[in-house]
Amino acid sequence: EAGVAQSPRYKIIEKRQSVAFWCNPISGHATLYWYQQILGQGPKLLIQFQNNGVVDDSQLPKDRFSAERLKGVDSTLKIQPAKLEDSAVYLCASSLALVGQGYGYTFGSGTRLTVV
Amino acid sequence: AQKVTQAQTEISVVEKEDVTLDCVYETRDTTYYLFWYKQPPSGELVFLIRRNSFDEQNEISGRYSWNFQKSTSSFNFTITASQVVDSAVYFCALSESVIQGAQKLVFGQGTRLTINP
């Protein structure tokens, strides 16, 4: 099966500019996650979707970050305006959403964002 | 709240040595899942293993083995006869159920493992 697709692979922007990342999960995976991984740290969950609804966005900096998954399939994460501390790898993951089943999570290759 | 602690930030060993990566977790759930991922320099997260909270049997896969102990909330990972290709950052992660039937995956801070020739 095809994996989780993310684009772009790399992005360099100046602070205060805006940027958008795209993710297409594995077909049939109802749950989609966006993680932020700052250099030297573990991935941190930003937002979790179940189909097109938000399950958890408690760690999303909502003053500058937004995400949507309008049709319950692919998703876009936007940062506007970007700050230097947003430099990180943004990882998208998807999983089947069956309670108690613990299906694995499949990660995309990530988008490496550098804010200068 | 879920929490995963990997106390070892960096480990460096000589090739062929055995090495153990520690992982301690906190959760309120009785049903949860534990994972280990490998992140090589290329950056992708590579799935290594998933264990559920009801299965405390140790598991061995080639040179890799995992020791799950609920009594101490630990899920440690051992590499036997390490090789240079094992050099990577290793993450322990915990998944538990959240609202709306979904599961949430929380990562530890990772352990950078360097195998020297």
User: For B85-95, what is each residue's pLDDT tens digit?
Assistant: 999 999 999 98
Confidence band of B43 (pLDDT split at 50, 70, 90): confident
CA torsion through residues A114, A47, A105, B113, sign: positive
B113/A53: higher pLDDT:
B113
Tell me the pLDDT of chain A (116 aa) as tens digits.
678 999 999 999 999 999 999 999 999 888 899 999 999 999 999 999 988 889 889 999 999 999 999 888 999 999 999 999 999 999 999 887 654 455 678 899 999 999 99
| Cross-chain Cβ contact A33/B107 below 8 Å | no
Residues 6 or more apart in contact with residue A103 via CB below 8 angstroms: A95, A96
The pLDDT score that the predictor gives to residue B14 is: 97
User: For B62-101, what is each residue's pLDDT tens digit?
Assistant: 999 999 999 999 999 999 999 999 999 999 999 876 665 5
User: For B13-23, what is each residue's pLDDT tens digit?
Assistant: 999 999 999 99
A89 in contact with chain B, both atoms CB, cutoff 8 A: yes
| Cross-chain Cβ contact B101/A33 below 8 Å | no
How far is the C-alpha of B28 from the C-alpha of B51, rounded, in Å?
A: 17
| Cross-chain Cβ contact B43/A102 below 8 Å | no
CA torsion through residues A35, B79, B3, B70, sign: positive
Q: Which DSSP helix (H) or strand (E) runs through A49?
A: strand A44-50
The structure tokens listed for A2 are 């095809």
The pLDDT score that the predictor gives to residue A24 is: 96
| Cross-chain Cβ contact A98/B35 below 8 Å | no
Residues of chain A in contact with residue B43, where contact means CB-CB under 8 angstroms, are: 89, 109-110, 112
Residues of chain A in contact with residue B98, where contact means CB-CB under 8 angstroms, are: 48, 55-56
B60/B10: higher pLDDT:
B10
Closest chain B C-alpha to A109 CA, distance in angstroms: 5
Q: Which among B6, B47, B100 has CB closest to A104? A: B47
The pLDDT score that the predictor gives to residue A106 is: 87
Residue B23's alpha-carbon distances to A92, A107, B12, B17, B60, in angstroms, are 24, 21, 17, 20, 17
Q: Which among A50, A98, A110 has CB closest to B43? A: A110
- Are A100 and A40 in contact by the 8 Å Cβ rule? The answer is no
- Alpha carbons within 13 A on the beta-carbon side of B107: 25
| Residue count (chain A) | 116
Confidence band of B52 (pLDDT split at 50, 70, 90): confident
Closest chain B C-alpha to A63 CA, distance in angstroms: 23
The pLDDT score that the predictor gives to residue B13 is: 97
A28 in contact with chain B, both atoms CB, cutoff 8 A: no
Q: Which DSSP helix (H) or strand (E) runs through A19?
A: strand A19-24
Closest chain A C-alpha to B110 CA, distance in angstroms: 6
Size of interface A-B (CB pairs under 8 A): 68
Residue B37's alpha-carbon distances to A56, A81, B21, B89, in angstroms, are 23, 32, 12, 8
A25 in contact with chain B, both atoms CB, cutoff 8 A: no
